[in-house]
Amino acid sequence: MKILFLISSSLKPRIAKRVKLFSKGNEVRIVGVLRENQDSFESPYADISQMISIDFPDSSHLIKRYLATKKYQTFAVSKIKDFNPDILYATSFDSLLIAKRYKKIDNKVKVVYEIGDIREWYIEEQKGILKRAIVGFLKGVEKNCFRIVDRMVLTSEKFYDEYYCNLIEKEKVFFFPNVPEESFFSEYKKKSHGPFTVGFIGAIRYLEQMKMLIDVACECGINVLFAGTGSVLSEYTEMQEYAKDKDNVRFTGKYNYERDISKLYGSVDCIYSVYDSRNPNVKIALPNKLYESILCCLPIIVSKDTYLGEIVTGMGVGKAIVFDSRDELKSVLVSWSQMGKEYQDIVLSCEKNRDYTDISRYNEGLLQALYSLNR
């Protein structure tokens, strides 16, 4: 079977895992765009990738975004024609538009659509006539695109409940949480000495929460490790500037997930995943940090009033705090840095819940879901 992945940013670890899974026994290609203002992860699949470099503005710059998208579409469709895939695996709305365009050329191709995050405008009420009109138009385009979607993959069941239930039948949806590939952690060794260190591992965003971490950690005499660059490079530069005189804060920059992830987790004592809980996506998303922290038996700090917070609190694998509460963050860090009973109890809860991170059952389910498309 020939499978072509369409990506509209750097190859995220989540999609890299799908590429690895489907590369066994299938012919796989990646077609995508390298955003000139975004470069968070190194791709381990350069040999099967065909990429075009474009300054890809965010969705707030609609005209520039439209022009960049059209350029990417033309490039991608030509590469898809050359490969002639059985399955198109779209990983963003931009990619889904390309899949729809190609479907007119080859009606037999099957389309899989995977979403790791949901944009705010999908699920929040827009203010202003113009914004409502634009969002209404985009939702109409998206609804039309869903006519070609044969399978949908979601990383949070809440995405379906809150939005996609109106666009696709549940039997076509496969829930695949952001669980890590255990083999990437085969050399993981839990940190056993040195200063207490909080880790933020992934694309840096929600800068106010990142700055709060730096400020509170400095007050407590605790180290901070940021691994990865920003969602856009300007945010990464801003964070580096903010921490330039703080000796307890270290940035690794871009990293190779497969090669570096176990070492990064082995250099921290807990994980920070606090985002602005007023954001609709933050309220319902389940990030990879949840599963990675459980696998590595590292307590995690997340935001209250979120689906993630409910899970973390319910399983006892970390603490949920008010997203902008310095006092709550300080209380947690001071307690955990002493490595006392609270910290150790959370570590034990992680150990008890490690089955929750077993990727094999999800891999098998997704393989069956895709192979059934060509029967």
- pLDDT, one tens digit per residue, over 305-348 is 999 999 999 999 999 999 999 999 999 999 999 999 999 999 99
pLDDT value at position 35? Answer: 67
Residue with tokens 């998208």: 69
Are residues 356 and 327 in contact, defined by beta-carbon separation less than 8 angstroms? Answer: no
DSSP string, 307-331: HHHHHHHHHTSEEEE-TT-HHHHHH
Whole-model pTM: value is 0.85
Torsion of CA 33, 35, 36, 41, to 10 degrees: -110
pLDDT value at position 6? Answer: 95
Which of 156-162's residues contact partners 24+ apart within 8 Å by CB, and which partners?
156/284, 156/285, 156/286, 156/307, 158/283, 158/284, 158/285, 158/286, 158/307, 159/115, 159/118, 159/284, 159/285, 162/118, 162/123, 162/280, 162/284
Span 9-28, pLDDT tens digits: 778 889 999 999 999 999 99
Largest Cα–Cα separation, the chain: 62
Beta-strand relationship, 270-273 and 300-303: parallel
Q: Which two tokens stand for residue 258?
A: 């497969």
Mean pLDDT lowest among 86-90, 93-97, 228-232, 251-255 = 228-232
Give burial (CB, 10 Å; 0-12/13-18/19+) of 360. exposed
Mean pLDDT lowest among 17-31, 43-57, 198-212, 233-247 = 43-57
Confidence class of residue 57 from pLDDT cuts 50, 70 and 90?
low
User: Between residues 130 and 125, which one has the greater pLDDT?
Assistant: 130
* CA quadruple 311, 316, 318, 320: dihedral sign: positive
Confidence class of residue 137 from pLDDT cuts 50, 70 and 90?
confident
- Rounded Cα distance between 68 and 166, Å, is 29
Confidence class of residue 304 from pLDDT cuts 50, 70 and 90?
very high
User: Between residues 61 and 257, which one has the greater pLDDT?
Assistant: 257
Confidence class of residue 117 from pLDDT cuts 50, 70 and 90?
confident
- Rounded Cα distance between 11 and 41, Å, is 7
Domains of the chain (ranges plus CATH)? 2-179+359-374 (3.40.50.2000), 182-357 (3.40.50.2000)
pLDDT value at position 145? Answer: 94
What three-state secondary structure class fits 227?
strand
Angle separating helix axes 13-23 and 257-265, nearest 10 degrees: 130
- CB neighbour list of residue 316: distance below 8 Å, 6 or more residues apart: 345, 346, 349
Rounded to an integer, the average pLDDT of 52-62 is 67
pLDDT value at position 90? Answer: 97
- Rounded Cα distance between 330 and 322, Å, is 12
Confidence class of residue 154 from pLDDT cuts 50, 70 and 90?
very high
- Rounded Cα distance between 69 and 6, Å, is 13
Span 359-368, pLDDT tens digits: 998 999 999 9
- Rounded Cα distance between 165 and 173, Å, is 10
- Rounded Cα distance between 80 and 72, Å, is 12
Most confident of the ranges 49-58, 174-183, 232-241? 174-183
Mean pLDDT lowest among 55-64, 148-157, 201-210, 257-266 = 55-64
Nearest-CA neighbor of 298 among 362, 240, 343? 343
Q: Going edge to edge, which strands form the sheet with 300-303?
A: 249-253, 223-227, 197-201, 270-273, 300-303, 318-321
Q: What H or E segment, with its residue span, contains residue 228? A: none
Nearest-CA neighbor of 328 among 226, 189, 160, 213? 213
Are residues 286 and 303 in contact, defined by beta-carbon separation less than 8 angstroms? Answer: no
pLDDT value at position 375? Answer: 67
User: Between residues 300 and 375, which one has the greater pLDDT?
Assistant: 300
C-alpha radius of gyration, the chain, whole number: 21
pLDDT value at position 175? Answer: 95
- Rounded Cα distance between 72 and 102, Å, is 13
Mean pLDDT of the chain: 91
pLDDT value at position 56? Answer: 66
What three-state secondary structure class fits 278?
coil
